[in-house]
């Protein structure tokens, strides 16, 4: 049998060099692709932070009554009265006002935190607020029926105390509301970063707070629209009844720093919310 000739040293060295060049190029490609996917993943995470709390914040802020719905405001914290049900007066008797409420989401209505009610003057259009003490209980449907007011399916009959004044006659609009505080503060889930908190304040002074989402950049804040102004300002108006909307700067951050960058990925996000319950 004839012996087969093997590789020479030169052939072996040449093949090793070729494999090294191909391997280095392939490694660089994998590294580049890894950084790209890491960058994309952290960018999506930052955008998810910005959008994660949007529905909850917008649903609360949009329902604010313009002239008295904002209790206090600055760029990092707002305390507001959030309506969760609306109805009309049926009658007032024996220190109790019976109100027929329009249908409302049962889950939203059942959440704790009833703080008070507001009634709208039929002459001026302005709302007057009644709270601490203010009570809500199941009302007598016969009272509304006797006034030829039909409560829609899914609606409720409630009895409010203290009773509305005599100026709040049959058909006067009434809002039931909760007192809620939104603030950007130190996150409890992402240590060292900023989170957005929603706190429900009860009549007895106790609070129930939840962190909606984190982390946010230090630039996250509230800005303010006054009356018919088209540009939001960093400071609220001296008279909070002039507020007509809020500009939300929800600048989200990724929780981790992508490879090749010095810090977390940032997703600037700005949207505006204008109050629905406004006179002008």
Residue with the two structure tokens 């102004």: 229
Higher pLDDT residue, 37 or 141?
141
- Write down the pLDDT at residue 1: 55
For the segment 132-173, what is each residue's pLDDT rounded down to a tens digit?
889 999 999 999 999 999 999 999 999 999 999 988 999 999
State which H helix or E strand residue 41 sits in: helix 9-52
Q: What is the tens place of the pLDDT at every residue in 173-202? A: 999 999 999 999 999 988 889 999 999 999
CA distance 103 to 156: 7
* Mean pLDDT, rounded, for 26-47: 71
Write the CB contacts of 258 (distance below 8 Å, at least 6 apart in sequence): 35, 38, 39, 41, 42, 264, 265
Cβ neighbours for 241, distance < 8 A, ≥ 6 positions apart: 66, 67, 68
- Helix (H) or strand (E) segment spanning residue 245: strand 243-249
Q: What is the pLDDT of residue 279?
A: 66
Q: How far apart are alpha carbons 29 and 141 in whole angstroms?
A: 73
Asked if the model's pLDDT at residue 15 lies above 90, the reply is: no
The full set of domain ranges for the chain reads: 58-77+182-274, 79-178
- Residue 51, phi then psi, degrees to nearest 5: -90, -15
């Amino acid at each position: 049998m004839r012996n087969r000739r093997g590789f020479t040293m030169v052939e072996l060295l040449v093949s090793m060099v070729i494999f090294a060049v191909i391997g280095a190029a392939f490694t660089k490609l994998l590294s580049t692709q890894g950084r790209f996917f890491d960058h994309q993943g952290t960018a999506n995470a930052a955008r998810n932070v910005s959008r994660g709390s949007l529905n909850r914040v917008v649903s609360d802020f949009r329902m604010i009554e313009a002239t008295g719905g904002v209790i206090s405001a600055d760029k990092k914290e707002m305390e507001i009265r959030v309506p969760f049900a609306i109805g009309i007066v049926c009658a007032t008797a024996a220190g109790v006002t019976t109100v027929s409420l329009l249908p409302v989401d049962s889950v939203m209505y059942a959440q704790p935190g009833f703080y008070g009610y507001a009634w709208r003057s039929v002459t001026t259009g302005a709302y007057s607020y009644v709270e601490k003490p203010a009570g809500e209980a199941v009302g007598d449907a016969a009272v509304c029926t006797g006034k030829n007011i039909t409560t829609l399916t899914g609606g409720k009959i409630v009895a409010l105390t203290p009773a509305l004044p005599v100026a709040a006659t049959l058909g006067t609009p009434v809002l039931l509301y909760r007192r809620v505080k939104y603030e950007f503060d130190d996150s409890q889930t992402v240590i060292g970063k900023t989170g957005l908190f929603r706190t429900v304040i009860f009549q007895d002074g106790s609070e129930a707070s939840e962190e909606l989402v984190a982390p946010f950049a230090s630039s996250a804040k509230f800005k303010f629209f006054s009356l018919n102004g088209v540009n939001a300002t960093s400071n609220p108006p001296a008279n909070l009844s002039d507020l007509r909307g809020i500009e939300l700067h929800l600048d989200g951050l990724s929780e981790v720093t992508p490879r090749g960058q010095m810090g977390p990925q940032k997703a600037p996000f700005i949207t505006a919310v204008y109050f629905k319950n406004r006179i002008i």
